[in-house]
Amino acid sequence: MAEAMPREFYQILHELQAVDFVVNDLVLYLDTHPEDQQALSQFNQFQRRKQTLAQQFEASFGILSGSGAHHTGQRWAWTESPWPWQV
């Protein structure tokens, strides 16, 4: 059985998932409304927040995806973080 993760793990991950949902929704909207400057501004805002949260999560808990920011080229660490079904 996997060890329990700290509460911060779930808080950051939950916010990251919510922000990612907004980003994906805005991508779909912008595909059909490319001239909507307010939507583009919101997309940029949420994209920056997503990047910040991902960096914060990866700095504390490990790589989020196979293309995570913490691949250094020195070693492949993707498999060292808990898998989604382990948390």
For 50-87, the pLDDT digits (tens) are 999 999 998 998 888 766 555 555 555 666 677 666 76
At residue 79, the pLDDT reads 65
Residue 85 lies in a domain: no
Residue 28 lies in a domain: yes
Residue 15 lies in a domain: yes
Residue 73 lies in a domain: no
Closest CA relative to residue 62, chosen from 13, 17, 23: 13
Closest CA relative to residue 68, chosen from 78, 53, 81, 82: 78
Residue 23 lies in a domain: yes
Range of the domain at 19: 8-33+42-51
Q: What is the mean pLDDT of residues 24-50?
A: 96
Task: State the total domains in the chain.
Answer: 1
At residue 51, the pLDDT reads 94
Q: What is the mean pLDDT of residues 35-62?
A: 94
Q: Is pLDDT of 4 > 70?
A: yes
Residue 46 lies in a domain: yes
Query: How far is residue 45's CA from residue 39's CA, in Å, rounded to a whole number?
Result: 10
- Tokens describing residue 13: 């991950």
